[in-house]
Amino acid sequence: MPRNPYYSGPPSDHFDGVRFFLPGGRSTDKSRRDLLRWRFQSRELPAWPSAYSGLPQDKPPPRVHGAALRVAFVGHATFLIQTQGVNLLVDPVWSERASPLRFAGPKRVNPPGIDFDDLPPLDAILLTHNHYDHMDMATLKRLAHQRPCPIVTPLGNDTILARGIAKVDARAYDWGDVARIGPLAVHLVPAQHWSARGLFDRRMALWCGFVIETAVGKIYVAGDTGYGDGRLFRDIFLKHGAMRLALLPIGAYEPRWFMREQHVDPEESVRMFEDVDAGQALGCHWGTFRLTDEAIDEPPKRLAVALERAGIAPERFRAARPGEVLEIA
């Protein structure tokens, strides 16, 4: 029987003693044969440009006090959230590639929406899971040296971080747990996804989304997720109530036969928006790293159509560009 190198704990409704899984037996696993079928199937892919600019780089303030909320999009799945004097950084990636290698793998086509040296002091990093486009060890090492703060992450990821970063303050939580960051309560919630850093550690560290309680309302950070039957998101609404803001993935979804269980498409993202009763949303996980087959500008185009069909005003759910800032008084 394989041994879990990252986490040791009692079995639960989503942990069998070795691997984490989705309750109810839903599987996100794809075989190596599936991977080879996707990578080597005969198809003509739309070209991505070598550069796809965002907005001018943001220069965030040191703090945002009181009930005001400021959210800046850095790129891919990275956000800086500022409210009530607290600064949170989500899934920080400043590296040129989303890859274990510096010379190969998906390369970013736009600079980060905030220059690294312009980052304010940080109170916590929220890390959803260990895939290389979310857990960027080079960026996390740099942050540990220049912007030290706790890293809030699901079970098992603390071990990975501790092995890669000296004196890291990584704090691991299970689904349903709450991390207190100053006046904010950060809830870890399920996502339909998986984890791996190598070939033999699939689902041996947990993955999650976050619900952040703030004075201006709740913020839902979905992380990477498939949609499934939607029950997962409706359960989040039933437990936590309506969201003031949702940060939702809209890209990395083609081909659907391979990606459906792990990444939503724009139409499913709109359904998530409705399921959690969000007031506003920013779409992420598109337009920075080429991970899948769709054209670089397809996600925002499909998002616009899906919103129109659902009768949702487009200003309520925008496809974010690096450097974009949302402020709520």
State mean pLDDT over 125-150: 97
Peptide bond into 183 cis (omega under 30): no
Q: Please compute the mean of the pLDDT values over residues 250-257 and round it to a whole number.
A: 96
- The predicted-structure confidence for 152-201, as pLDDT tens digits, reads as follows 999 999 999 999 999 999 999 999 999 999 999 999 999 999 999 998 99
Encode pLDDT of 192-245 as tens digits. Answer: 999 999 989 999 999 999 999 999 999 999 999 999 999 999 999 999 999 999
- The pLDDT confidence band at residue 120, using thresholds 50, 70 and 90, is very high
Give the whole-angstrom CA distance, residue 211 versus residue 245.
10
Q: Work out the percent of the chain whose per-residue pLDDT is above 70.
A: 99
pLDDT of residue 42: 60
Q: Which CATH class is domain 59-321?
A: alpha beta
The residues spanned by each domain of the chain are 59-321
* Average confidence score pLDDT of the chain: 95
Residue 250 pLDDT: 98
pLDDT given for residue 168 in this prediction: 96
Structure tokens at 13: 């409704």
The total number of residues shown for the chain amounts to 329
User: CA-to-CA distance for 145 and 93, rounded, in angstroms?
Assistant: 15
Instruction: Report the pLDDT averaged over residues 60-68.
Output: 96
Residues 31, 41: contact at Cβ < 8 Å? Answer: no
pTM equals 0.96
Q: How many CB atoms lie within 10 A of CB 308?
A: 12
Instruction: Give the model's pLDDT for residue 31.
Output: 74
Q: Which residue has the higher pLDDT, 42 or 16?
A: 16
Provide the 8-state DSSP code for 199. Answer: S
pLDDT at site 36? 74
pLDDT at 204: 98
Query: Which residues have a Cβ under 8 Å from the Cβ of 199 and sit 6 or more positions away?
Result: none
% of residues, the chain, pLDDT over 90: 89
Asked whether the predicted pLDDT for residue 40 surpasses 90, the reply is: no
SS3 6: coil
Instruction: Please state, in angstroms and rounded to a whole number, the distance separating the CA atoms of residues 214 and 217.
Output: 5
